[in-house]
A and B are shown apart, each in its own frame.
Chain A
């Protein structure tokens, strides 16, 4: 059975330091919400409060609308997969997974039988008799996930469980989480500092910074319509172009760009994803082709594996009345033949921009 989880104005003080401040967030049943933030942002504290391992200084935690603040961790029906697998070293793999059932009073035989089903789910059925010390890091984390699922929790909390795995194992674990969601439909809260992980796994992302939730919304919304500069930066946005908003348009070195409705007139930052920009190159090294795209000079070309990050020094268009110069980042697929000093045009895909307060 999957349940909804609600944090209602949760705060947590450690001495004089406020780690969480008035956090309110609802995780609908059967959804996967990622809590994304840097180290020290309070995301793990929020998870510990949800699981009952820590108590809020004020506010409450609701499970299916019922206040769970006074319910001890063992009775909440909320299982946690921690950053470390935390397998019991004195128990075999199957007995680790059978642990929740044994604690609930199920016979050893029945508990092991159920445990084997969960081990099969994480594709470790053949490792049942091994001791935890005989497993690799990825296998240990799979067992840890199977053990948490074997508790048949109403809500599953994942506290950076894949952060110590290599990229191939991490991708395997993402597949596994997808499979588990399809088969069991649990409610999941994922804590992570990895925006890619949050984007790959989550239905919605809540961005946490210095103990407060800055924005909670679907993955594309957070990337392309961030509420603040901080959200843009946490989601990996590299461009915040200063300019002026007026009449539904933003004017900057990138030219006059249509922005979201309801933006008050005045100074504003145009946030534009580096992946949403294109470069237009003139073979003669002159300005861009006649589409009025702003132009600039390439200052850096940095390889990012299958992509390259190009930094372009963009100047205000002649006759615009401005002398502003901005460095704009553009991420391109493949290996474009660009070098520092090349002159290029910069264009915004779709022609639609998003501004936040300066």
Chain B
């Protein structure tokens, strides 16, 4: 048996059930979003759920904004943490432990903690004497608290991925660069950053797709309206109005489409990065 066929056969027991459930769920969601699988009444084809007064487009825009901002923040902070951990001495281990410690904290708990810290009557506002100009991070239009929560949690994830992927090579290459006249900043930009690009790209994709579909932080820390895709999907799905179900499914599918598009574009870009293949 050819090695490729053998590998596929070995993976089949794990892959097939996942593929079946995923395909079934997506097809069912698509049919419901098009009115072909109604909870009540007769099936009737309709695209009304996909263009409900532009709300779906607005929700998509908000979700992409939150995911993009969170990804940029996570990637920048994660890279800086990884660079410090890889090139510094004993003190870097403390930072590595602190970063790793934040990974197992659930996003729901982290979002709650971020709310208590950043709300206009929260811990920081009280520390600063409840200033009237305290930024509206929680519930504000900029989704600041949600983005910060994602940035905090996901930067630790990015840092761990980068440290794991570069631990064996970064130290020696940075030392070689130093003896060739590269300053600390040059070593970071001309050695560590190019080395990190493949892992950075992959972890950025993971963070983007995760934050695009994550519900807890935007729900707890964002404004009531407008809503990002996951918050809207959960609200409509749980609504007592069963006719809202097609809109819930369209909203969920929109996040799937955006996620798949991001993965496709990301993989195309990564193929251009040297060292990825």
Contact = CB atoms under 8 A, between A and B. Distances in A.
Interface of A: 51-53, 72-76, 78-80, 82, 84, 86, 88-91, 99-100, 102-104, 131, 147-148, 151, 157
A74 B183 contact: yes
B180 A79 contact: yes
Residue from A74, A80, A82, A84 whose CB has the most chain B CB atoms within 10 Å: A74
A86 B176 contact: yes
Interface of B: 169, 172-173, 175-183, 186, 190-191, 194-195, 197, 274-275
B180 A103 contact: yes
A355 to B, nearest CB: 43
Given A74-B183, A131-B274, A82 B178 contact: no
B176 A89 contact: no
Contacts of B180: 74, 79, 99-100, 103, 147-148, 151
A89 B274 CA distance: 9
Contacts of B182: 74, 99, 103
A89 B179 contact: no
A226 to B, nearest CB: 33
Given A99-B177, A99-B180, A100-B181, A82 B172 contact: yes
A53 B274 contact: no
Nearest to B274: A90
B96 to A, nearest CB: 21
25 contacts: A52-B178, A53-B175, A53-B178, A53-B179, A72-B178, A73-B175, A76-B179, A79-B180, A80-B175, A80-B179, A82-B172, A82-B176, A84-B172, A86-B176, A88-B194, A89-B274, A90-B194, A90-B195, A90-B275, A99-B177, A100-B181, A103-B182, A104-B181, A148-B179, A148-B180
Given A74-B182, A103-B182, A103-B183, 13 more contacts: A51-B179, A73-B175, A74-B178, A74-B180, A74-B183, A75-B181, A80-B176, A82-B172, A86-B172, A88-B191, A88-B194, A90-B197, A151-B180
Contact of A89 (B178, B183, B186, B275): B275
Nearest to A100: B180
Contact of A151 (B181, B183, B195, B274): B181
